[in-house]
Every structure is written in C-alpha cells, then in structure tokens.
C-alpha cells in the first residue's frame, strides 16, 4: 500500500462520514459506520484506523482472523472492533469465536450454539446479530421473518453471547423507493421486537443504499467499496 493509496482511503472515508453524519442529523439518530475491509490488506485497515475509524467488518473467517491478528500485533493500543458479517460454516465458528467481537450474520441456532460453547471464557461475551432475509430471495442467507422470533428466543438463552440486533442485506435496487421497501419492512420488524429482546442495533445500508437506510431507521451502516475502492476477487473475472 503506497502513501497515495492510504490517502485515497482516508479521503473517501472522510466523504462517507460526512454524508453519513448529515443523513444521521436529518434522521435525528446516531448512526455508526462499519468499514467493510474484506479482500483488502491489513494496510488498508491501518490507513482507515489512522483516520479514526474503529469498527471493521470482515466476511471470510481465515482472512478476517489473520487481519485481526496483524492489526493487534502492529497496533495493540488501538481499540478496534471487529464484526464478522459473512456466511458462517460450522467448521469456522471456533476461529471466529476466538477472534471477533461481533457476529452479525447468525441465521441458524446450530451456529449460535457453537459460538456460545466456543467463545473463550477469557474474552467478553460475543455480541450477536441475527441476519434476516427480509425480501425472501431464495438464494440468500438470513432467517425468514416468520422464523425470527423462534430463533431470537433460542439464542437469547445461550451463555457467553449477547444478543444485540438485526442485520439485513436487501436485494440490490436502483431507485430510492425500491430501496426503501425492504428497509422500511426491516425497521418495522426491529421496532416490534427490539423492546422484548433488548436489541439496540439495526444494521442495514451498504455503499449503494446507506443514505436511504439511515432514512429508514438504520443505526449501523456497512460500507466497503465507497471507502476502500472496488474489490478484486482472486480467481474471479
Ligand atoms: C461486502 C459487504 C458489504 C459492503 O458492501 P459495499 O457495497 O462494498 O459497501 C456490506 N455488508 C455485507 C454483508 C457485505 O458482504
């Protein structure tokens, strides 16, 4: 990572933060910014952290754990907060439970049970969000809205986990109104369930829809490419 690349990241981060703060002011709500650093090197995280960013999101267990270790080794003084936001398979739960502060993509009880039993006693409780498939796309991860309460009930009793909120990734939509539909449905679901389950985070909004998401009620947006630039996946066109 060159100095120019680091400065690019910091410039884009400042622009995102400014737009987000303005939207949060309009909404009259505090909104946190997660920087999604998947596929980018630890140096990209360092550049964002040097500009004050503290919350980071990673999608892939091995890549994320390696980055967490690299950042802790290089900057033990930085209080970075790491969210796991990708699909999580059973054979990766242990490394995630041993490294991350949050898992935002829990959509099955079995995964929550494994995280609960594998979270080290020496670490604080693992913060948990349930991922909801709000628009019912067949191919997507996330629990169906109709099955959400049963999962919340089961997860809230598990030791070493702290149930914190709901996360969703709506299907990409072009217009403001199309973006708003699933986001508003998610907000309604959150408002209904948050008091009963003590939820305080509604994670929705990515680079393309973060301002609409804040308008709809998001308390945490997950922004990758608008901060770090376009992603290049090795082995993919
Ligand atoms: C990659 C990813 C993001 C960030 O997407 P951008 O469009 O680059 O902002 C947010 N949330 C999840 C779950 C992701 O996988």
CATH code of the domain covering residue 125: 3.20.20.10
Q: Do the beta carbons of residue 45 and residue 37 sit within 8 Å?
A: yes
Distance 223 CA to ligand 1 centre (A): 6
Pocket test for ligand 1, best of 85, 134, 213 (most atoms within 8 A of CB): 85
| Domain assignment present for 52 | yes
The atom number, within ligand 1, closest to the CA of 222 reads 10
Domain, as residue range, for 163: 3-228
Residue 93 has pLDDT above 60, yes or no: yes
pLDDT of 233 reads 74
Q: Regarding beta strands 220-223 and 161-168, do their DSSP bridges make them parallel or antiparallel, or are they unpaired?
A: unpaired
**Looking at ligand 1, which atom is closest to the CA of residue 226?**
9
Residue 237 reports pLDDT greater than 50: no
Assess if residue 188 is contained within a domain. Answer: yes
Length of the chain, please? 237
Q: Separation of 168 CA from ligand 1 center, angstroms? A: 11
Has residue 107 been placed in a domain?
yes
Domain count, the chain: 1
How far apart are the C-alpha atoms of 143 and 106, rounded to whole Å? 9
**Cut 0.75: pTM above it:** yes
Looking at the domain assignment, is residue 236 inside a domain?
no
State which ligand 1 atom lies nearest to the alpha carbon of 104.
Answer: 13
Whether residue 100 is contained in a domain is answered as yes
Domain-located, residue 120? yes
In a domain, 234, yes or no: no
The pLDDT tens digits of the residues spanning 98-127 come to 999 999 999 999 999 999 999 999 999 999
pLDDT, tens digit (0-9, with 9 covering 90-100), for 199-233: 999 999 999 999 999 999 999 999 999 999 999 87
Would 67 be classed as within a structural domain?
A: yes
Mutational pocket test of ligand 1: of 173, 208, 224, 236, the residue with most ligand atoms within 8 Å of the beta carbon: 224
């Amino acid at each position: 990572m060159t100095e120019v690349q680091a400065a690019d990241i910091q410039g884009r981060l400042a622009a995102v933060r400014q737009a987000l703060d303005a939207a949060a002011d309009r909404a009259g709500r505090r909104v946190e910014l997660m920087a999604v650093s998947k596929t980018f090197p630890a140096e990209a995280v360092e550049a964002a952290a040097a500009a004050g960013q503290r919350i980071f999101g990673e999608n892939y267990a091995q890549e994320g754990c390696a980055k967490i270790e690299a950042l802790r080794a290089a900057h033990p003084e930085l209080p970075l907060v790491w969210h796991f936001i990708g699909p999580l398979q059973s054979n990766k739960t242990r490394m995630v439970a041993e490294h991350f502060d949050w898992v935002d993509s829990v959509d099955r009880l079995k995964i929550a049970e494994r995280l609960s039993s594998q979270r080290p006693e020496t670490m604080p409780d693992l913060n948990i969000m349930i991922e909801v498939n709000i628009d019912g796309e067949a191919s997507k991860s996330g629990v169906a809205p109709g099955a959400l309460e049963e999962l919340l009930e089961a997860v809230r009793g598990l030791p070493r986990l702290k149930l914190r909120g709901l996360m969703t990734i709506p299907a990409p939509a072009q217009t403001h109104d199309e973006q708003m539909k699933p986001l508003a449905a998610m907000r309604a679901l959150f408002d209904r369930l948050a008091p009963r389950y003590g939820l305080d985070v509604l994670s929705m909004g990515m680079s393309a829809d973060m301002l609409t998401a804040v308008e709809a009620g998001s308390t945490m947006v997950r922004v990758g490419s608008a901060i770090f630039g376009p992603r290049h996946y090795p082995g993919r066109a």
